[in-house]
Amino acid sequence: MSNKFYITTPIYYVNASPHIGHSYTTIAADVLTRFKRRVLGKENVRFLTGTDEHGQKIQKAADAAKLSAQSFVDQTSQQFRDLWKSLDVSYDDFIRTTQPRHVKVVQKCLEIIFKKGDIYEGKYEGLYCTPCETFWLEAQAVGGLCPDCHRPVERIVETNYFFKLTKYQDWLLGYLRENPDFIKPGSRYEETLRFLELNKLNDLCISRPKERLSWGIPLPFAPEHVTYVWFDALVNYISAVGEFDARDNYVSKWWPAELHLMAKDILRQHTVYWPIMLHALNIELPKRVFAHGWWMLNEDKMSKSRGNVVNPLEMVEKYGLDAYRYFLLREVPFGLDGNFSEEGIIKRYNSDLANDLGNLVYRTLTMVEKYFDGNIPDLKLNGSTKSVAEILAKIEHLPVRVFSALDEQNFSLALESIWELIGMANKHVEETKPWNLAKENKQEDLKEFIRLLVDVIRAVADKLEIFIPQTAASIQEQFVGDKVKKGNPLFPRIETKKK
């Protein structure tokens, strides 16, 4: 196993405020970061996020807001940092593509690839979608509309610079066939492989004339052109953690990244453009690219351009931070699309958090107070009954089950393992009927019963620290050495009006 872990989110485009999709990727990265810090130590883990701040969409949004492009991106980038603070996201570095450290590395990459002969000047004539900043073939833009956002494309004729993607198509195909774990989930791997097998790549247009777009990083060999935003943005993963030496070798203690996380709509940029760019630069590829699904609203993709986005802060204000984090991670297997609804959050809140977890903690602490004056019974459990033995085995195997699921980015399975233990403990309470043990003065049985529940809660809180850290801390604060200090219920039920 590698003794370091470098994880990235995509850098988020700052033409509008952040929404639930951004929070989904970033919370997932935060969970994996907290997990790996436990395994490898904080100093051996690096979590990068940031903002993508160049391009035509930014310039148009800044013009509409009557601000300079720099002032506009400063404001919007800050919104992302403020949101991550509110969502308890523990990133190590926040990169902005307007920072000098990034600009310097982008220009160096362009210089190296240009000297190698993999960038050439050519004329482009074709269809262009400004909102998506993407060129399209006539056959793709049916009815003159962008196939992604369904808005009109415009015809453009101009001289630009092109990166020779075509030169590396066979190499990339061979690499993917030899490394099926490079792209996850498997469906995205198959999608990329089929695309490369069935289509001949076009060379990538990597510049825009300054006369059409001035807001970007100038090409070092053609300062009258700026860098295409997708070439610029992808370089952030290396510009944040390293630099080139005098011989054009990339040097970094963190690269290669163990994991790039993103949504599936930017899969191709990360599994076609980015590997080829790295190969052309003679830089090792990341270990894994994981493209998760979309959150849908009424079966429709949630996106800024469609205006149907959910504000994460509103959800946190309504239901609490950890309920929001829990819902995103538990509701849908990571990689599949999910349907977002407040009814879904309330259902998870009342069922999993209030009834299962909250109830177990509150009634256990109540029983410790009632039967043992707040003192936790001090004894070693040995599985005196089948039920006790099964729960002890579940506690023992919990770390392996949770950690192995997280190694495969399977958050819902990891949480399911924790909730199985919670469910077993709640069932044990109903079957054991501790109130009867107390009535019959079966003190040793009662001690064993209480101690088992305390051990379950401690094991659960320890693992929940990775997913919902504030709740875990609240639980742990109620256990002080060998005594309990009961607080308020963790998740008071949300009452819903019946129709």
> What are φ and ψ of residue 213, in 5° steps?
-150, 115
**At residue 133, does pLDDT exceed 50?**
yes
Averaged confidence pLDDT in the chain: 94
Range name among 35-44, 194-203, 377-386, 434-443 with the lowest pLDDT average:
377-386
Residue 32's pLDDT band, with cuts at 50, 70 and 90, is very high
Residues 6+ apart with CB under 8 A from 425: 360, 391, 452, 453, 456, 457
Which strands make up the sheet holding 207-209, listed edge to edge? 207-209, 222-227, 218-219
DSSP one-letter code for 154: E
| Section 5-28 average pLDDT | 93
**At residue 363, does pLDDT exceed 80?**
yes
User: Which pLDDT tens digit goes with each residue over 202-231?
Assistant: 999 999 999 888 899 999 999 999 999 999
Q: Using an 8 Å Cβ cutoff, are 360 and 422 in contact?
A: yes
Range name among 95-109, 137-151, 261-275, 446-460 with the lowest pLDDT average:
137-151
Give the pLDDT score at 131. Answer: 79
- CB burial readout 447-460, b (16+ within 10 A) else e: bbbbbbbbbbbebb
Q: What percent of the chain has pLDDT over 90?
A: 85
Residue 46's pLDDT band, with cuts at 50, 70 and 90, is very high
How would DSSP label each residue in 355-393?
Answer: IIIIHHHHHHHHHHHHHHTTBPP-------SHHHHHHHH
Q: Token pair for residue 169?
A: 């198509």
| Section 124-147 average pLDDT | 85
Give the pLDDT score at 146. Answer: 92
Give the pLDDT score at 213. Answer: 85
Q: Which amino acid would we find at residue 412?
A: S
Residue 55's pLDDT band, with cuts at 50, 70 and 90, is confident
H-helix segments, 235-385: 236-239, 267-268, 274-280, 312-319, 321-331, 342-348, 359-372
Separation CA 358–CA 362 (nearest Å): 6
**At residue 416, does pLDDT exceed 60?**
yes
- The CA–CA distances, whole Å, from 400 to 77, 88, 395 equal 38, 25, 10
User: Which pLDDT tens digit goes with each residue over 303-349?
Assistant: 665 667 789 999 999 999 999 999 999 999 999 999 999 999 999 99
Give the pLDDT score at 305. Answer: 59
Q: Token pair for residue 107?
A: 């220009």
β-bridge mates for residue 51, sequence order: 12, 96
Separation CA 367–CA 374 (nearest Å): 8
Measured in whole angstroms, the distance separating CA 49 from the mean position of its chain's CA atoms is 10
Give the pLDDT score at 499. Answer: 46
Give the pLDDT score at 424. Answer: 98
**At residue 1, does pLDDT exceed 60?**
no
Helix pair 56-64, 69-86: axis angle to 10 deg: 100
Residues 6+ apart with CB under 8 A from 64: none
Give the pLDDT score at 220. Answer: 97
**At residue 498, does pLDDT exceed 90?**
no
Burial of residue 480 (CB within 10 Å: 0-12, 13-18, 19+) is exposed
DSSP one-letter code for 42: G
Give the pLDDT score at 303. Answer: 62
> What are φ and ψ of residue 338, in 5° steps?
-135, 155
H-helix segments, 117-247: 169-178, 186-198, 229-234, 236-239
Total-model pTM: 0.93
Give the pLDDT score at 444. Answer: 92
